[in-house]
Amino acid sequence: MRIFWTFFWTFLLVNMVTYVVSSMIGVAYHFETGTTLAVVATVLILLIAQLIPNEPVHH
């Protein structure tokens, strides 16, 4: 369920950013570009979440 919600919100936010940026620079909006970026961003977010330790580090 965690992966689904991560992808869901990443998908919405990345497509929104893609739409706004493409409008600002005057190019056509491509849904495929936003979706591809959302999948890549989701994988990166989940990978970074796995690399961060859960427990505090004792010195």
In a domain, 34, yes or no: yes
Q: Which residue has the higher pLDDT, 55 or 59?
A: 55
In a domain, 22, yes or no: no
**What is this structure's pTM?**
0.82
In a domain, 33, yes or no: yes
**Close Cβ partners of 24 (under 8 Å, ≥ 6 residues apart):** none
Q: What are phi and psi of 5, to 5 degrees?
A: -70, -35
In a domain, 56, yes or no: no
Q: Looking at the predicted structure, is the pLDDT value of residue 59 above 80? A: no
Domain count along the chain: 1
Range of the domain at 11: 2-16+28-51
